[in-house]
Amino acid sequence: MAPAQGRATDGQWGWCNKMALIVQKFGGTSVGSVDRIRQVAEKVKGFRQRGDDIVVVVSAMSGETNRLIDLAKQIQAEPDARELDVIVSTGEQVTIGLLAMALKAIDVPAVSYTGAQVRIVTDSAFNKARIQKIDDDAIRADLSAGKVVIVAGFQGVDEQGNITTLGRGGSDTTGVALAAALKADECQIYTDVDGVYTTDPRVVESARRLDKITFEEMLEMASLGSKVLQIRSVEFAGKYNVPLRVLHSFKEGPGTLITLEDNASMEQPVISGIAFNRDEAKLTIRGVPDTPGVAFKILGPVSAANIEVDMIVQNVSHDNTTDFTFTVHRNDLRKTEDILRKVASEIGAREVGGDNRIAKVSIVGVGMRSHAGVASKMFEALSRDGINIQMISTSEIKISVVIDEKYLELAVRSLHSAFELDADADADADASGSDHL
Amino acid sequence: MAPAQGRATDGQWGWCNKMALIVQKFGGTSVGSVDRIRQVAEKVKGFRQRGDDIVVVVSAMSGETNRLIDLAKQIQAEPDARELDVIVSTGEQVTIGLLAMALKAIDVPAVSYTGAQVRIVTDSAFNKARIQKIDDDAIRADLSAGKVVIVAGFQGVDEQGNITTLGRGGSDTTGVALAAALKADECQIYTDVDGVYTTDPRVVESARRLDKITFEEMLEMASLGSKVLQIRSVEFAGKYNVPLRVLHSFKEGPGTLITLEDNASMEQPVISGIAFNRDEAKLTIRGVPDTPGVAFKILGPVSAANIEVDMIVQNVSHDNTTDFTFTVHRNDLRKTEDILRKVASEIGAREVGGDNRIAKVSIVGVGMRSHAGVASKMFEALSRDGINIQMISTSEIKISVVIDEKYLELAVRSLHSAFELDADADADADASGSDHL
């Protein structure tokens, strides 16, 4: 990375012994008003003055994307996919211009680019496009010239020059993809939380901010309902090994760094966090004749109806029949029951039951790979509090259980304590309030 | 122009004996709401069903450009020119998407393009860029494929890929430039008036819509205060001989066609219309020593202060001194007086006088070229009503006089009648209410 022009001769930066290329992504609420855009500009200026090269990715001002989609839906109930992207992509385009102005107003050289101007090339899947390549020439030239580069998140352009968008939350993906293309030292995602927690602090008061978490853990946490980051951006960051940091937009603090598994760290905790989800409903089809292909006969029609299935459990059969249980989103419960009743009569199953008063609780941690007994410790903690487990499902770094919804908070607190995640169990962990670089 | 695919075999269009390529421009109020956008779509569909190829140019929804500029000014009192264009160009981008959807919703194939997507290449004069060239390949291909092409007005892209805008009213220019590039049969400008009138109907009840007017006449009318069309677009249309038609967005009617002078038409009226303007003020500097360079000494400082001068009159001198009179915008009167007082003492002139209670009235018509006595007829009509003429200025197709403001309406009515422009003087002229093609 070439130093910015004039930087070497500028005495006030002489003390700086570290210069990094950082991609910073600010979401809709962080740029939701003129005042907040000014605050973001001040924050960026601080990094610049320390000598860092900064690329900023921004979302549309909060509410703007919804306003534009509403407008489109007034014209066409099912908006044309290509034209919808033409319309909604203007939200970020306004923000990049405003932030560039806010930086220039405080004497920071800056330039804005739409996705098409950078040439963030995507496929042509309008409304949910995937990034294929990024042309970073212009950005590198501007950084070398000492400018802050501001890029519209969430959008790109296909090979034919059509405007595309990456789908909701796509600005995170833009940030990570740019960081990967530029081989940035870090991609910082500014949010309304100050980091990733061991679990939801609203449920467990002693929940603790994690200094570090692995990509895999973050993926499990994110997909299980910790909505700090968009899953796709975490996958992307993991794939290209882009260090990702979650920070609060307007509070100081080190946030949480998401990186590859750190083998050097011997004291890897067994469990990093506890995720939970109360948006699901459970369906059971009982007395299913246990013949090959029966799982497909049950789930085929569900999937054909565009209903997403999460956990699936089928236990060993007895008397040549088995019970088949799975979970779907609560909103899909009635629809799925209707489908299952038809299926049940076709395959000769005994009965269909649905229950939306359930919750899923998961413990996540790369440490459980090498530690035996994690599952039994989990089940023991739950049984100690009289919580019955209805379903169990496991992956390499995660164990999920479905329980009665009413026990959710109790289960989370009980597991948080059993796996020694409470803040007082590790007093050092959250001590540092200083900046992280 | 290649016929649209399938058109030859489509029986319902078989009766159509005429197929034209038409560029239609709809301004901000014509697309100011979801309902109006739907109305525009229906109008376009009507033309399509008649077999015409249609390119539509749209402005931002009314109020939107001002909203965006206000937002920018909250960040930077003097918004950065490049970034302002990034921001305000989103207004038209939203409209093109919405109109394309509205057309698809009523089964008309349509596709939208921003200025950058078409490649309407401009210079890099942000906020007031000039069009240099237009790449019409994509548009021609879409028209051949039977699509309505919707282009964002007011915007382009420079050779470096920066977004530019053409300045206020620039959508008219986009329309005319596209019509020129595509060699369209007609460029239709839809407005809130149903055509160009012989004079302002609010002043003269019997004012009459003109079926035709020449580019030159329209230029004189426009620059004299008939604000139907942006001057630049008329110049452009004249230069490239693009037939221009002014029409009402939501009322049926033939509007007014603006074309080159029609030599075949023998019955050219002497005068096409009467324009007027009450925004000007008159300044006189008396007893100016009549030496070479004195005009520059007077007007140089005025122009250096960015004050635009309209009419200038200097009469023959007597006793080696002369009187020098000119008009400026009323808002600039005090400032200009201050400048003139300084100039007067420097050049030894006698006195400076200013008057903002004046009005300018002009008669415009290519016919006056070949008709003697037009000026005397004008002066006669004014004198008959006791109206004193303070200044006179003439061009090949226009005679302007400055009079006391209080006589303005009387003068316009008197001239309208003297030159036989009243609707009852030519009963046929406005009889046709049918569509014009």
Statement: residue A384 has pLDDT above 80: yes
For the complex shown, is ipTM > 0.90? no
Question: Within 10 A of A78 (CB to CB), how many other CB atoms are there?
Answer: 10
**DSSP 8-state secondary structure symbol assigned to residue B388:** P
Q: Give chain B's mean pLDDT.
A: 87
pLDDT at position B262 is 63
Domain assignment present for B298: yes
Total number of domains constituting chain A:
1
CA B101, CA B107: separation in Å to the nearest integer? 10
Residue B425 pLDDT grade (very low, low, confident, very high; cuts 50, 70, 90): very low
pLDDT, tens digit, for every residue of B25-73? 999 999 999 999 999 999 999 999 999 999 999 999 999 999 999 999 9
Identity of the amino acid at B236: F
Among B148, B167, B191, give the residue marking a domain's end: B191
pLDDT at position B1 is 37
Domain assignment present for B10: no
Residue B134 pLDDT grade (very low, low, confident, very high; cuts 50, 70, 90): very high
Domain assignment present for A385: no
Of the candidates B125, B210, B208, the one whose C-alpha atom is nearest the C-alpha of residue B170 is B125
Residues of B in contact with A163 (CB under 8 A): 114, 117
pLDDT at position A320 is 82
Torsion angles phi and psi, residue A70, rounded to 5: -60, -45
Q: Which two tokens stand for residue A350?
A: 């005994």
Q: Same domain, yes or no, for B133 and B26? A: yes
DSSP SS3 for B86? helix
**DSSP 8-state secondary structure symbol assigned to residue B366:** G
Domain assignment present for A155: yes
Statement: residue A381 has pLDDT above 80: yes
Name the least confident of A165-174, B119-128, B250-259, B331-340: A165-174
Provide CB contacts within 8 A for A96, sequence distance 6+. A58, A112, A113, A114, A150, A151, A152, B83, B86
Q: Which two tokens stand for residue A184?
A: 């940035």
The minimal CB distance from B96 to the residues A84, A86, A96 is found for A86
Question: Within 10 A of A9 (CB to CB), how many other CB atoms are there?
Answer: 8
Statement: residue B4 has pLDDT above 50: no
Identity of the amino acid at B181: A
What CATH number has the domain bearing residue B427?
Answer: 3.30.2130.10
Question: Do B352 and B285 touch, CB atoms closer than 8 A?
Answer: yes
Domain assignment present for A391: no
pLDDT at position B149 is 98
Q: Same domain, yes or no, for B276 and B164? A: no
**B63-88 burial, b for 16+ CB within 10 Å, e for fewer?**
ebbeebeebbebbbeebbebbbbbbb
The number of angstroms, rounded, from the C-alpha of A64 to the middle of its chain's C-alpha atoms is 21
**B261-285 burial, b for 16+ CB within 10 Å, e for fewer?**
beeeeeebbbbbbbbbbeebbbbbb
B25 among annotated binding-site residues: yes
Q: Which two tokens stand for residue B324?
A: 């020098």
* Distance (Å) of CA A108 to CA A43, A184, B1: 11, 21, 51
DSSP SS3 for A342? helix
Domain assignment present for B179: yes
Among B147, B174, B191, give the residue marking a domain's end: B191
pLDDT above 90 coverage of chain A, percent: 64
Across B104-123, average pLDDT? 97
Statement: residue B260 has pLDDT above 60: yes
Across A141-156, average pLDDT? 97
Across B262-273, average pLDDT? 68
A217 among annotated binding-site residues: no
A27 among annotated binding-site residues: yes
Domain assignment present for A130: yes
pLDDT at position A265 is 54
Statement: residue B395 has pLDDT above 80: yes
Question: Do A258 and A179 touch, CB atoms closer than 8 A?
Answer: no
Residue B265 pLDDT grade (very low, low, confident, very high; cuts 50, 70, 90): low
Kindly report the nearest CA distance between residue A183 and chain B, in angstroms: 25
CA B350, CA B364: separation in Å to the nearest integer? 36
Counting one residue from chain A and one from chain B, the pairs whose CB atoms sit within 8 A come to 103
The pairing of strands A256-259 and A244-248 is antiparallel
Residues of B in contact with A101 (CB under 8 A): 72, 75-76, 79-80, 83-84
- DSSP-based helix, strand, coil % in chain B, nearest 5: 35, 25, 40
Name the least confident of A309-323, B98-112, B378-392, B422-436: B422-436
The minimal CB distance from B97 to the residues A72, A93, A96 is found for A72
Of the candidates B54, B46, B58, the one whose C-alpha atom is nearest the C-alpha of residue B139 is B54
Residue of chain A whose alpha carbon sits nearest to that of B98: A72
Name the least confident of A1-5, B38-42, B158-162: A1-5
Across B155-167, average pLDDT? 96
Statement: residue B116 has pLDDT above 60: yes
Instruction: Choose from B101, B135, B142 for mutation: most chain A CBs within 10 A.
Output: B101
Question: Within 10 A of A109 (CB to CB), how many other CB atoms are there?
Answer: 14
CA A340, CA A358: separation in Å to the nearest integer? 19
Domain assignment present for A240: no
Residue A39 pLDDT grade (very low, low, confident, very high; cuts 50, 70, 90): very high
Kindly report the nearest CA distance between residue B93 and chain A, in angstroms: 6
pLDDT at position A282 is 94
Instruction: Choose from A101, A104, A113, A117 for mutation: most chain B CBs within 10 A.
Output: A101
Statement: residue B371 has pLDDT above 90: no
Across A70-84, average pLDDT? 97
pLDDT at position B293 is 79
The minimal CB distance from B75 to the residues A82, A89, A105 is found for A105
Higher-pLDDT residue of A55, B295: A55
Judge: A112–B38 Cβ closer than 8 Å, yes or no. Answer: no
Statement: residue B426 has pLDDT above 50: no
Residue range of the domain that includes A66: 20-191
Q: Which two tokens stand for residue A226?
A: 């910790």
Statement: residue B429 has pLDDT above 50: no
CA B69, CA A194: separation in Å to the nearest integer? 34
Across B76-96, average pLDDT? 97
Torsion angles phi and psi, residue A384, rounded to 5: -60, -30
Q: Same domain, yes or no, for B46 and B163? A: yes
pLDDT at position B436 is 28
Q: Give chain A's mean pLDDT.
A: 87
pLDDT at position A426 is 45
pLDDT at position A219 is 85
Statement: residue B78 has pLDDT above 90: yes
The minimal CB distance from B105 to the residues A75, A111, A161 is found for A75
Judge: B83–A94 Cβ closer than 8 Å, yes or no. Answer: no
Statement: residue B432 has pLDDT above 80: no
The minimal CB distance from B72 to the residues A71, A80, A97 is found for A97
Higher-pLDDT residue of B372, B43: B43
Residue A1 pLDDT grade (very low, low, confident, very high; cuts 50, 70, 90): very low
pLDDT at position A289 is 87
Statement: residue A116 has pLDDT above 60: yes
Kindly report the nearest CA distance between residue B404 and chain A, in angstroms: 48
Residue B332 pLDDT grade (very low, low, confident, very high; cuts 50, 70, 90): very high
pLDDT at position A263 is 56
pLDDT, tens digit, for every residue of A389-409? 998 888 888 899 999 999 999
- Could you give the strand order of the β-sheet that contains A131-134, starting from the edge strand earlier in sequence? A131-134, A120-122, A155-157, A163-165
Residue A340 pLDDT grade (very low, low, confident, very high; cuts 50, 70, 90): very high
Residues of B in contact with A104 (CB under 8 A): 76, 80, 83
Higher-pLDDT residue of A189, A322: A189
pLDDT at position A226 is 59
Name the least confident of A36-50, B221-235, B347-361, B382-396: B221-235
- Most confident range (mean pLDDT) of A3-12, A153-162, A259-268 is A153-162
CA A206, CA A199: separation in Å to the nearest integer? 9
What CATH number has the domain bearing residue B132?
Answer: 3.40.1160.10
Across A16-32, average pLDDT? 86
